Amino acid sequence: MRFFTLFFFLFSTFSFSQQNNLVEKIDSVAFYNKLANSSVSKNQYKNALFYTQKAINFSKENNKTIDQVIQTFKLGKLYYDVKKYDDAIKAFDKSISLSKTLEPSSLQASIHYYLGMCHMKKRDFLNAKISFDKAKSLNDSLEITNTVDLINLQRGIIYKSEGDSDTASTIFSTIIAKPDNPAILDIKVEALYHIGLMEMADNRNNLALNYFNKALDLNSKNKNIEQKSAILLALSTVYEKMLDKNNAYTYLKQHSNLEESISLLDNEKLGVDDYEKFKESERLKEVAEINKENIQQEKTSKFSKLISILAIALISILSLLSLSLYKNNIIRTQSNLLLEEKNRELILAKEKAEKASNARTEFLSTVSHELRTPLNAINGIAHLLLEEKPKKSQMNYLESLQFSGNYLTNFINDILEINKIDSSKAQVENISFNLKLLLENIQNSLKELASENNNYFSLEIDSHIPDYLIGDPTKLSQILMNLINNALKFTHNGSVTVTSKLISLEDQKAFIYFEVKDSGIGIPEDKLETVFDSFSQGSVGINRKYGGTGLGLTIVKKLVEILGGEIKLDSKVKKGSSFSFKLLLKVSKKPLKIIKNLNKNNYDNLKSKKILVVEDNKINQMVSKKMLENKGVICEIVDNGEEAIEIAKSNKLI
Ligand code: ADP
């Protein structure tokens, strides 16, 4: 029986109000809904089911949850209308589960109510009660009151079936007492019918008859034929019980005629074949969907497998990387520790080497110094003896003695010089000097050696070189003296030229080129590099013939480097050699240091001059005194500085 007009009305307003807002177009929920509604109005339930299903599919594909809930509910209602209660229950359940994410609404209450009605039809009162309670609580919370009677009626029917006649008849009586109006008509007829059944069951047949007749009377207003059929059957039964065979037969006949036409109507709505076909197509669709889902799932599982494999591979690579980093770190830490250890060892070794080097320097300077004093005595005495006209046979010995003494003195002086440079004690002076004068002095001092070997010894000085320069004239003299000495020594009957040229003059700085060139024996190609090493000489033969210590060029190289230059050598055997270097010297305006004429033989000025010699070594005292007296000098000797100051104060010497 259709007692759901009110709910249907509520639901329709809800769904239609939504649909009106939609622009109707093909393949839209509104479009399918419209087609389904028009099919219902034409009693074509097969089409209505078809379009509703399409509306569901569309809303599902487009993720329109509310539409899906409404259309699924509508599908349930269509099934309910054609009395396919199991299908209806399935649709309502689905609709309820879909609506769980939505806010509570009258729509949800309607779904629960219809679900309850399906259970009622199946006489499953337990589940029906649950559904009605749910519908009631939703309506209560939403403060919807106009469905109270509808739900109460169903609860009354349930109480009746459970044997709780009192509660049931109270509910029915309350409904019956309500004034007639179209909205409550169906409910009142139903209440009258059920209360009549209860009276009939208690054999109060006249009362029952009264209720059934009232029900039939009200039914004529709402034209609910299913309700009418049930009432006719009830009337036939009560008349039968009252042994009124005629009325019993008449009502039974009317009932069966009505049932026949209801059955025809039902069949018209949805024929058995149509229903089967529809169900089959639904089943096929479901299978297709399941297959699709399976394929999708398979794809997803393959994809997730791939992702898992990739993730595992990535994790493995990362782990390996971390492991190698960790190992690397350990190795690095170990190497660092090792390096630190080695560094410590190296620092210790360096300190030791420095100590050893200092000790060597100290030793060399002490020994050389101690050697120089007796050597000076030997040289001095040899010199004195040679001056005292010795016998011819003694002359050779004395000359050899003087040569050896001089050699040793030079050797010790060279060692001391290298020692001084190596121990970084050599300090560069920055004083003003006249380069031209310096070169001329050197030339004068070596003239004798040049003529000894019959060499043409010349100076070529660039006139553009400024008169006064600032630098270290002592070291420059040492360098040039060494180089010129070598040139004159290794050249016989040839020429030695000393050149100095101005390369550039900028910002009060003169860049000067120095060259000592000779036409002597030259240096073999394989020795060009090594001649600058300590104790390195051209060959044993050369050493024997020309003498020397093998330290001169070592000193030259080091001194040139100290002054900021670099010594260059160009030489060819039997053609001659050229030693050159460039120095950057500041230009000075006035002279500060004048290198005195180094001419050795200028002793005449010393005659009758008074000289005080301060010397602690007795032999040196004796030698110095004798040598000075030989040059006509009046000489006084004292042992130490204090005595010297005393004599100077008393002016005794003068
Ligand atoms: P030495 O005291 O032996 O001259 P040096 O260091 O001054 O030591 O020179 C090293 C060697 O270089 C010399 O023994 C010699 O063989 C070679 N040498 C130096 N200057 C010249 C030069 N001007 N001509 C030829 N050989 C030279």
User: pLDDT tens digits for 99-150?
Assistant: 988 888 889 999 999 999 999 999 999 999 999 999 999 988 888 887 888 8
Q: Are 625 and 635 in contact (CB under 8 A)?
A: yes
Tell the residue nearest (CA) to atom 23 of ligand 1: 487
Lowest mean pLDDT among 18-27, 170-179, 190-199, 641-650: 18-27
Q: Where are the beta strands (DSSP E) in 141-266?
A: none
Q: What is the whole-number distance in angstroms between the Cα of residue 574 and the centre of ligand 1?
A: 14
- Ligand 1 centroid – CA 476 distance (Å): 18
Distance from the CA of 547 to the center of ligand 1, in angstroms?
Answer: 9
Compute the average pLDDT of residues 58-63: 89
Residue of minimum CA distance from atom 4 in ligand 1? 548
Hey, which residues does 586 pair with through a beta bridge?
470, 509
Confidence at residue 21, expressed as pLDDT on a 0 to 100 scale: 45
Atom of ligand 1 nearest to the CA of 521: 25
Q: Is 386 exposed, middle or buried (0-12, 13-18, 19+ CB in 10 A)?
A: middle
pLDDT given for residue 539 in this prediction: 66
Going from the Cα of 587 to the center of ligand 1, the distance in angstroms, rounded, reads 33
**491 C-alpha vs ligand 1 centroid, how far in Å?**
11
Long-range contacts of 352-358 (CB under 8 A, 24+ apart): 357/422, 358/423
What is the mean predicted confidence (pLDDT) over 260-276? 82
CA-nearest residue, atom 19 of ligand 1: 486
In this predicted structure, the answer to whether residue 651 has a pLDDT above a threshold of 50 is yes
pLDDT reading at 349 higher than 90: yes
419: helix, strand or coil: helix
For 357-386, the pLDDT digits (tens) are: 788 777 877 887 788 888 888 888 888 888
Confidence of residue 4 (pLDDT cuts 50, 70, 90): very low
In whole angstroms, give the CA distance from residue 111 to residue 114.
5
Which residue ranges have their beta carbon within 6 Å of ligand 1?
A: 486-487, 490, 518, 520-523, 531, 536-538, 542-543, 548-554, 577
If you average pLDDT over residues 167-194, what whole number do you get? 90
Residue 559's Cβ-side half-sphere holds a number of Cα atoms within 13 Å equal to: 25
531 Cα–ligand 1 center, Å: 7
- Mutate which of 486, 488, 515, 545 for ligand 1? The one with the most ligand atoms within 8 Å of its CB, which is 486
**CB contact at 8 A, 190 and 1:** yes
Residue 512 pLDDT greater than 90, yes or no: yes
Rounded to an integer, what distance in angstroms lies between the CA atom of residue 395 and that of residue 386? 7
Which ligand 1 atom minimizes the distance to the CA of 538? Answer: 16
Q: Tell me which of 417, 495, 537 to substitute to probe ligand 1's pocket, judged by most ligand atoms within 8 Å of the beta carbon.
A: 537
The confidence band for 456, taking pLDDT boundaries of 50, 70 and 90, is very high
pLDDT of 17 higher than 50? no
In angstroms, rounded to a whole number, what is the distance separating the alpha carbons of residues 229 and 225? 6
Q: Do the bridges between strand 456-461 and strand 495-506 make them parallel or antiparallel, or are there none, so unpaired?
A: parallel
The packing angle between helices 182-201 and 225-241, to 10°, is 20
Confidence of residue 536 (pLDDT cuts 50, 70, 90): low
pLDDT in tens, 580-603: 999 999 998 765 544 454 445 567
pLDDT at site 265: 83
515 pLDDT exceeds 50?
Answer: yes
> Who contacts 323 (Cβ-Cβ below 8 Å, separation ≥6)?
none
How many whole angstroms from 538 Cα to the centroid of ligand 1? 6
Mutate to test the pocket of ligand 1, among 535, 553, 578 (most ligand atoms within 8 A of CB): 553
Q: Is the pTM of this model over 0.75?
A: no
* DSSP conformation class of 179: P
